Amino acid sequence: MTNIEVVIPSVLNKGAGEKKFSINASTLGDAFSIISDMLGDDFKRRVIDLNGKPRALINIYINGKNIRFNNTGMNSVLKDGDSVYILPAVAGGAELTSNDMVRYSRQIMLEEIGYVGMEKLKDAKICIVGAGGIGNPVVTQLVGMGVGKIRLVDRDVVEISNLHRQHLYDESDVGKVKVEAAVQHLQKMNSNVIIEPIPISVTPFTAENIVKDCDIVIDALDSIDARYALNDACFKLKIPFIYAGALGMVGSVCTILPNETACLRCIFPELSEDEMPTCSTEGVHPSILYLVSGIQVSEAIKIVIGQQPSLANILLYIDLNTLTFDKIQMQRHEDCISCGVNASKKLVQIPPLLVEELCGRDRGKRTYTVTPAQIKNDLDLLNILKNAELQGYTITSKGNLGVTVTNQNKLLSFLTSGAATIVGAKNEDEALIIYKNFTNGFNK
């Protein structure tokens, strides 16, 4: 006899959860007889009609392939190690198609995911904030795994220096808006996933709109101020938040559950943007990015499926130099300004524009981002291009979500959200003047 695995979803198991059986059977009919004896007449009545064939709403898959596409039916011969799934057309959550069963068969057969877990993944909406070194492998994995909806957020454009670690992009993407280039590649990978690109900076004034309506937020940022804003928004909206950071040869990951675990400010209460090292000054090994991002994805999948994440109240610290993984227990602090009993709720006047200096680009030129406090998504890119032509700039990249223009001294990228990156300005005031000259009072 042949040893096979038969998987029964909870709905066919009297609501007692998904059940897996290891049995010996030569044909599908033999397997049904054995399983029916184990589960009783009610199971057999719900699955098989009076002619001994599967009922119309029952789908049976052998290694992800629906038996309705072969001519042998219940006489299908089984091989050692085959997996048989007996599934009603609707077993809760988003219905899986025959194509889904084949495409995702290698993860559906995992006990940790299963059919019901795959349904939940297809129903989920995950926000990935950052489309750079960490965001690249995160979004690639989640799109490949078939998460139903993904919101991808980034304010930046692709640079040649990104390509050694941000493998979602290629040389033809240099100068393009990251989220736009990413979506173009990801849709070729899995056209069934809905991807929402948002080209905007994360600030205390934009964070809530960025993460609202999402089931989970994954942090793939490189700015501590933006991370704090994201942390605060997720805490307020009660959205699980999975942090990761990486620099050089080290990285760290932690899962934050609002009102249950330590938040990001409990873990890192007083970090300053000005004092933080960055990959543009310290460098980063691509391998550490894949390690922390893979752990983030694992944590996100557990939360979606309904399992307890492994890094709740635990900061995982990874060092590639010694290949060590250290777990550090975290605790929530009552005096935390984000999640403590006296958390700050003071009203802050919203400025029309936020200016932030980034690490120097293009051989050390000073670089600034200018971000509207309110997300509008209606900056006229054609007007930007006309102004660029009038001021002697040349177009290096033009897309639906943004444009990049340059002259001998400066490189400017404008996004439909109204955000801009300005390389080569002497100071913050000049960056604002350049921005306003190009946008013609967009934020008045």
* 438, HSE (Cβ side, Cα atoms, 13 Å): 33
Kindly list the structural domains of the chain, giving each domain's residue range(s) and its CATH number in brackets, ordered by start.
3-90 (3.10.20.30), 124-329 (3.40.50.720), 353-439 (3.30.310)
For residue 109, what are its two tokens? 């057969």
pTM assigned to the model: 0.79
Please calculate the CA angle 52-54-57 and round it to the nearest 5 degrees. Answer: 145
**Other Cβ atoms within 10 Å of 91 Cβ, number:** 17
Q: Is residue 147 within 8 Å of 126, Cβ to Cβ?
A: yes
144, with CB counted inside 10 A (0-12, 13-18, 19+), is middle
Q: Which residue has the tokens 């998504």?
A: 377
- Residues 419 and 37: their CA atoms lie apart, in Å, by 64
pLDDT mean values, one per 10 residues, the chain (444 residues): 83 73 90 87 79 76 77 87 77 69 87 88 97 97 98 94 94 94 97 95 92 97 92 97 93 96 90 62 87 98 96 94 92 89 69 81 83 82 93 93 93 93 92 90 50
Distances (CA, A) of 225 to 269, 312, 322, 423: 11, 22, 30, 21
> H or E stretch including 241?
strand 241-247
Asked whether the beta carbons of 212 and 430 are under 8 A apart, the reply is no
The answer to whether 272 touches 214, Cβ cutoff 8 Å, is no
Q: Rounded CA gap, 99 and 198, in Å?
A: 29
Residues 6+ apart with CB under 8 A from 44: 32, 36
Please tell me the distance from the alpha carbon of residue 272 to that of residue 44, in angstroms, as a whole number: 64
3-state secondary structure (DSSP) of residue 407 = coil
**Cα 241 to Cα 244: distance, rounded to the nearest angstrom:** 10
Q: How many CB atoms lie within 10 A of CB 134?
A: 30
Neighbours of 24 (CB within 10 A): 13
Beta carbons within 10 angstroms of residue 42's beta carbon: 11
Q: How many CB atoms are located within 10 Å of the residue 341 CB? A: 8
Label each residue of 60-114 as H, E or C: EEECCEEHHHCCCHHHCECCCCCEEEEEECCCCCCCCCHHHHHHCHHHHCCCCCH
The percent helix, strand, coil of the chain (3-state, each to 5) is 35, 25, 40
Tokens 């935390």 -> residue: 336
Structure tokens of 141? 């994995």
What integer pLDDT is reported at residue 29 of this predicted model?
Answer: 86
In whole angstroms, what is the distance from residue 347 CA to residue 329 CA? Answer: 33
